[in-house]
Amino acid sequence: MAAQNLRTPGPTPLPPAVREALARDMINHRGPEFAALLRVCVDGLKWAYQVTQHDMVILTTSGTGGLESLVANTLSPGDRLLVASIGNFGERMGQLARAFGVDVTQLDFAPGTAVDPQLVEDAIREDPSIQTVFFTHNETSTGVLNPLQDLAAAVRVARPEALLLVDGISSVGSVSVEPEAWGLDVVVAGSQKGWMVPPGLAFVSISSRAWERQARASGPRFYFDWQRARKSAEQGETPWTPAISLFYALEAGLQLMREEGLDNIFARHRRLAQYTRDGLADLDVRLLADPRFASPTVTTAWLPEGVNGKALLRALDERYGIVLAGGQGNLSGKIFRVGHMGWMTEDELSAVLRAVQAELNSVRATTATARQ
Amino acid sequence: MAAQNLRTPGPTPLPPAVREALARDMINHRGPEFAALLRVCVDGLKWAYQVTQHDMVILTTSGTGGLESLVANTLSPGDRLLVASIGNFGERMGQLARAFGVDVTQLDFAPGTAVDPQLVEDAIREDPSIQTVFFTHNETSTGVLNPLQDLAAAVRVARPEALLLVDGISSVGSVSVEPEAWGLDVVVAGSQKGWMVPPGLAFVSISSRAWERQARASGPRFYFDWQRARKSAEQGETPWTPAISLFYALEAGLQLMREEGLDNIFARHRRLAQYTRDGLADLDVRLLADPRFASPTVTTAWLPEGVNGKALLRALDERYGIVLAGGQGNLSGKIFRVGHMGWMTEDELSAVLRAVQAELNSVRATTATARQ
């Protein structure tokens, strides 16, 4: 299998140190070596999440499993949940919660826009039964970063005691998120994003308010039970056999992140996003996301008229080994997406921009010839 | 971290080819490379499961998550389930099903014994509401392999239409299991056992009867929904981001298994188990499992009088780098367990036997001296 220049919004390329860690042999997951590994991973995640008081749980599952754990641990059948959706992953959360019998009120915003804090505040004020609110921090399908701190403030103004749940899967670790300072009760992240780790682990930060809710939530849960995870962690274990190789990788990825420093990581992601947006704009490609809320981790652009998305992605892959992502859901066949999170620099993105330029010029030349 | 001679009943040591596979960089999980990888893995699993008609689903989760998928997809709240338990993992299944509102009737058998087919037949005949039966094929906590074919026959005699669910986590791939020939509707396995792959993937074979039940089962499910997995697999994808590295490892492990051949693999596991049992018996160590049902993948032995289990395991680890497992649940501090599944030969087990002999002799010498 040829190497790919993977520029999708996750999974992301793996640095050599992470790949070496992945190749390590197994250890007993009920022994002192794993206990030490778990501790290093939890400490590193707390550092990247910028939390000191909130608990941190690591689950062997993909991001969607992390979101299911959020529903299973905080919501009971019949509970009202406000889901503010700006794309595919907000939509998915609505589906997931409904599957568990939750009574979902969904606020939908147009693709490319962010959630409007005022509308959230109004929706909560109108409905006294809303005690739980969900936001996607960074919507991977549209390349929009919601103004999470403002949204959290709007929730707190309208309903101070509400439980605030956040999908931070494509933000935490690449973008500053401060669960304690901003009042985010639960924040879920996934290993295959800025952490430079393969998919298969989900991370969850949990406030004391979320633990109180967890004790009361009556929905069924077993594999995803946070309380079991917390109790086992006190013994240096996980309740079920963990994906040990991915913990090795996480330890290595966190080490690289600590060497770079959080502020540098966040600044680099903002810089790479700006570099990508500027480069695409110079190619006369129209960007999807409202520039005020353009994501630091993924840039989305409309396919120019006459350009077939599948053909473009295939040509980029076959001629340059560059793998981008297409649109999801309603945006399928209408946009393309460039991921720039984790182990990435301007160099890799300049190659993406140059390849997109060459392919678009080729299509434009063909179209111009056909019109003559 | 020093290398471990890992002889626990999972995770198991990784062959070099699997470790190399783990170190590979990421690919797009929505592209043709992953589709090909998924196909090879599903085909290989069907070969090892000895099924042609049953469907095969791969989930990013540990074995317990695979068992949760079994409950979520086949049982509705209030359904009656017969759980035949011979140890810790049967007990866990009872807990799991109860957490999902299932009405569990549990038949418990003494540690070291197998499930008695006659008692299963009687229990089903007595209760017309039992439409679903669960067995642990190989009970990892006691080292007992249930006579699964006989048990399945007993179920079919008493209630031909019943749905038969099997935890094959520490058997499939190391022990012959024939879901179609024996009438097993669902069989769950886990990557960290005989497959020579790290933990983090669960495998599920699904009969047409199980699919019919799935369509009717009313419990909540989303992440573990088999129907979503089947639909995505038709497009060469998984519904949620898969643990790509573990799929690489599974492809490599299955390749090694095909080179050895299924019959050879099964024969080797039987031979290694006999070798371990004979060796321990020669050390005057009393075995836990009924010899008629002793497991081919894990051997369990009572700690001789005066031997502290924790001290024994620690000494084996520190002096020989050999890692065995202790007892679980009620057997904690009373037994020790030797895993012999996956990438293992007599050589590694002879080292285990020699080390156990030396340590037991040392304890016996100390005890004898103290008595003088």
CA B295/CA B285 separation, integer angstroms: 17
**Which residues 82-121 of B have a C-beta within 8 angstroms of A?**
95-96, 99-101
B224 with B265, same domain: the answer is no
CA atoms within 13 A on the CB side of B235: 11
B217 with B280, same domain: the answer is no
CA B240/CA B13 separation, integer angstroms: 28
Name the domain count of chain A: 2
- Confidence check: pLDDT of A2 > 70: no
pLDDT tens column, B252-283: 999 999 999 999 999 999 999 999 999 999 99
CA B120/CA B131 separation, integer angstroms: 13
* Confidence (pLDDT) at B1: 43
Is this prediction's pTM over 0.95? yes
Kindly state whether A10 is in contact with chain B, defined as any CB-CB distance less than 8 angstroms. Answer: yes
* Confidence (pLDDT) at B4: 81
* Confidence (pLDDT) at A367: 78
pLDDT tens column, A125-177: 999 999 999 999 999 999 999 999 999 999 999 999 999 999 999 999 999 99
Reference A326, options A343, A341, A338; nearest CA is A338
Kindly state whether A206 is in contact with chain B, defined as any CB-CB distance less than 8 angstroms. Answer: no
For tokens 């008692």, name the residue.
B119
**Which residues 139-198 of A have a C-beta within 8 angstroms of B?**
190, 192, 198
Mean pLDDT of B99-119: 98
Structure tokens at A269: 């992601």
**Cβ pairs A/B, distance under 8 A:** 191
A244 with A319, same domain: the answer is no
What's A292's domain CATH number? 3.90.1150.10
- Other C-beta atoms closer than 10 Å to the C-beta of A94 total 18
For chain A, the average pLDDT equals: 96
A239 with A284, same domain: the answer is no
**DSSP conformation class of A242:** -
A253 with A269, same domain: the answer is no
Full residue range of the structural domain in which residue A337 is found = 5-10+262-371
Q: Is A37 left (phi over 0), alpha (psi -120 to 50) or beta?
A: alpha
Domain termination residue (choose one: B258, B279, B305): B258
pLDDT tens column, B182-207: 999 999 999 999 999 999 999 999 99
Mean pLDDT of B153-181: 98
Burial A184-222 (b: 16+ CB within 10 A, else e): bbbbbbbbbbbbbbbbbbbbbbbbebbbebbeebebbbb
Sequence-separated (6 or more) residues with CB below 8 Å from residue B212: none
* Confidence (pLDDT) at B364: 84
Burial B290-307 (b: 16+ CB within 10 A, else e): beebbbbbbbbbbbeeeb
Contact A198 B10 (CB under 8 A): no
User: pLDDT band at A364, cuts 50/70/90?
Assistant: confident
B136 with B60, same domain: the answer is yes
* Confidence (pLDDT) at B370: 76
CA A177/CA A309 separation, integer angstroms: 33
Cis amide bond preceding B160, omega within 30: no
* Confidence (pLDDT) at A100: 97
Reference A203, options A36, A53, A57, A41; nearest CA is A57
pLDDT tens column, A166-215: 999 999 999 999 999 999 999 999 999 999 999 999 999 999 999 999 99
A253 with A283, same domain: the answer is no
Structure tokens at A232: 């086992």
Structure tokens at B285: 């160590």
Q: Is A286 left (phi over 0), alpha (psi -120 to 50) or beta?
A: beta
pLDDT tens column, B328-350: 999 999 999 999 999 999 999 99
User: pLDDT band at A370, cuts 50/70/90?
Assistant: confident
CA A88/CA A9 separation, integer angstroms: 14
- Confidence check: pLDDT of A1 > 60: no
* Confidence (pLDDT) at B367: 78
A78 with A29, same domain: the answer is yes
For chain B, the average pLDDT equals: 96
For tokens 């963990």, name the residue.
A242
Task: Please name the helix (run of DSSP H) or strand (run of DSSP E) that holds residue A336, with its range, or none.
Answer: strand A335-339
B269 with B324, same domain: the answer is yes
Please state the length of chain B: 372
Kindly state whether B20 is in contact with chain A, defined as any CB-CB distance less than 8 angstroms. Answer: yes
Contact B245 A22 (CB under 8 A): yes
Q: Cβ contacts (< 8 Å) between B26 and chain A: which residues?
A: 4, 6, 11-14, 192, 198
A202 with A291, same domain: the answer is no
User: pLDDT band at B368, cuts 50/70/90?
Assistant: confident
- Confidence check: pLDDT of B292 > 60: yes
**Residue A129 distance to chain B (closest CA, Å):** 23
pLDDT tens column, B60-73: 999 999 999 999 99
Mutation site, B5, B6, B195, B223, interface A, largest A CB count within 10 A = B223
**Percent of chain B residues topping a pLDDT of 70:** 99
Please state the length of chain A: 372
The residue type found at A161 is E
* Confidence (pLDDT) at B233: 97
Q: Which residue of A has its CA nearest to B10?
A: A28
User: pLDDT band at A96, cuts 50/70/90?
Assistant: very high
Q: Are A75 and A97 in contact (CB under 8 A)?
A: yes
CA B203/CA B253 separation, integer angstroms: 14
Domain termination residue (choose one: A241, A258, A275): A258
Mean pLDDT of B231-254: 98
The gap from C-alpha B245 to its chain's centroid, in whole angstroms, comes to: 21
Task: Please name the helix (run of DSSP H) or strand (run of DSSP E) that holds residue A27, with its range, or none.
Answer: none
* Confidence (pLDDT) at B3: 66
B205 with B164, same domain: the answer is yes
CA B231/CA B239 separation, integer angstroms: 8
* Confidence (pLDDT) at A372: 65
3-state secondary structure B198-249: CCCEEEEEECHHHHHHHHHCCCCCCCCCHHHHHHHHHCCCCCCCCCHHHHHH
Cis amide bond preceding A117, omega within 30: no
**Residue B368 distance to chain A (closest CA, Å):** 31
* Confidence (pLDDT) at B372: 66
Q: Give phi and psi for B285, each to the nearest 5.
A: -105, 130
* Confidence (pLDDT) at A366: 84
* Sheet strands (E) in chain B: 5-6, 55-60, 80-85, 103-108, 132-136, 138-139, 144-145, 163-167, 186-190, 201-206, 298-302, 322-323, 325-326, 335-339
What's A228's domain CATH number? 3.40.640.10
Predicted ipTM > 0.95 = yes
Contact B27 A14 (CB under 8 A): no
Reference B34, options B296, B334, B237; nearest CA is B237
A180 with A328, same domain: the answer is no
Contact B19 A23 (CB under 8 A): yes
Domain termination residue (choose one: B205, B233, B258): B258
- Other C-beta atoms closer than 10 Å to the C-beta of B220 total 24
Contact A28 B19 (CB under 8 A): no
Q: Which residue of A has its CA nearest to B245?
A: A198
Kindly state whether B317 is in contact with chain A, defined as any CB-CB distance less than 8 angstroms. Answer: yes
